[in-house]
Structure formats: C-alpha cells, structure tokens
Amino acid sequence: MGKPLVALLSGAGMSTDSGIPDYRGPNGLWRRDPDAEKLVTYAYYMADPEIRRRSWLMRAEAGALNARPNAAHLAVAELMRGGTPVRVLTQNVDGLHQLAGLPDRKVFELHGTARAVVCTRCHARSGMDEALRRVAAGEPDPACLTCGGILKSATVMFGEPLDPEVLAQAMAVAKGCQIFIAVGTTLQVQPAASLAGIAAEHGARLIIVNAEETPYDPLAEEVIREPIGTALPKLLRRIAATPWNG
C-alpha cells in the first residue's frame, strides 16, 4: 500500500521552542498588552504613522529572522525525506518549516510571511531584512523604494482577508489528506481552524497536539497534551513506521 498523505496545520505553539512567543496563550502578547494588537491591525497601521513606527520597532526587537527550526519542524522535514507525502498548512509567519527543509511548494502560509515586506500601493515585495536595516539606519517608517507607498510586513494583518488562492489550496489539501495533524494551535482563528473540521468530514484521521483544549477535540481520533518538541517527533516516527491500510 502507498503511504498516506499527511497534512499538518501548525500554529504558534509549534514555534515557541524556537523562541517565538505565542500571542494568544495564557502569557501571550495580546493578553499581556492588548494595545499591541493595534500594531498588526491594518486600519490602525495605515492611518497612524506612530503605530507604524512602533510596529517596525517591534519587528526589529523581536528578532524573529534569527529564529531557527526546532525539533518539531525538523521532524516534519524528516517525515517527508522518509518518503511520506507531507503538506504543511501554517498559521505561522516565521518561515521555519522551509528553513527545516520543506520546499516552498509544500508549505501553505495562510497568514503570509514575516520574512518579506510588501508595498500597500504598488505591491512590490522585498526582504524584511533589508527593511529592518533601513530602520536601524534611521528610517523609522521606511517607504517603498519603488513608489513611495507605505510598506508593511507581508503577513495578513487583522482586518485583512486571507489570500483566496492559498486558502483554496489549503482546503483542497484538507479534503484530500488521509491524516490531518493540528499542532500548537487553539483552532479558534477562522478560517484556518475550519480546516481540521473539513479534513475530518472528508474521512481523514484527525490528531490534535496542543497544550489546551480546542473546539475540535471531540472530532479527533487522538488528542495529545504533551510538549510539542517531544510529542510531535514521536508521533511522526510512529506514523512513518505504521503500515497504511487506507
């Protein structure tokens, strides 16, 4: 028998071991500083230069571009290298799945990427590292070098729609996979969270690896509450070693 198509939906909990904070957890940034949410809300960002300046400082201080893949990211890449078809649907914007070895075409970034910036006027894209160098050199709110428009991170801010093409591709993966693993996500942010339900409705075996309960736990065949850095590699090794009977 062939190997099952494994779809993995990753949320913030996947990257906490890489030093990237969980925004919605008990100690998450939004709970500690509700005002910080304005920095990534499109309407506030576009209307207020001070919000933009604070947003660029937050990006510079976060150091997310220096983060490295952790054991969970590496385990997903290892599963793929072992011959199991893998697709990653991620709510994260850190690019760590690709740094771990997954090709871009197998990673669907539902909320965009923090490794690039985009002009809100002409839509030109460039590297986040380049923009942060300009901030460090004294430009508190760097403008687009092509047209002078407002630059923003190439992430989906609050108040912005998801890319319909990426979402459609992610839904197709959810409908077509045999195993769907939701990792480090509260499964509360729509429409990404609905992918777990779509997978289960289409016959996939649903596995949830998360510290807290999620609304989709009752649909899951297995719920794992152990730390992701050890639980996910163990789970993926088990999947790789188990004969697939369809």
Q: Is 144 within any annotated ligand binding site?
A: yes
List b or e across 69-102, with b for residues whose CB sees 16 or more CB atoms inside 10 angstroms: bbbbbbbbbbbbeeebebbbbbbbbbbbbbbbeb
Q: Is 177 within any annotated ligand binding site?
A: no
Q: Domain segments of the chain: what residues?
A: 1-19+68-111+162-246, 21-66+112-155
| 86 neighbors 8 (Cβ within 8 angstroms) | yes
Q: Is 122 within any annotated ligand binding site?
A: yes
Q: What integer best gives the mean pLDDT of the chain?
A: 92
Fold of 1-19+68-111+162-246: Rossmann fold (3.40.50)
**pLDDT attached to residue 31:** 53
Q: Mean pLDDT across the stretch 227-244?
A: 94
**pLDDT attached to residue 246:** 61
Tell me if the domain spanning 21-66+112-155 has CATH number 3.50.50.60: no
Catalytic residues: 111
Least confident of 1-15, 115-129, 221-235: 1-15
How far, in whole angstroms, is CA 186 from its chain's centroid?
13
Q: Is 147 within any annotated ligand binding site?
A: yes
Residue 48 has pLDDT above 60, yes or no: yes
| 190 neighbors 198 (Cβ within 8 angstroms) | no
Residue 24 has pLDDT above 70, yes or no: no
Phi, psi of 207 (to 5 degrees): -125, 130
Q: Mean pLDDT across the stretch 156-160?
A: 93
**pLDDT attached to residue 28:** 52
**pLDDT attached to residue 23:** 58
Residue 98 has pLDDT above 80, yes or no: yes
Q: What residues does 206 pair with on adjacent strands?
A: 180
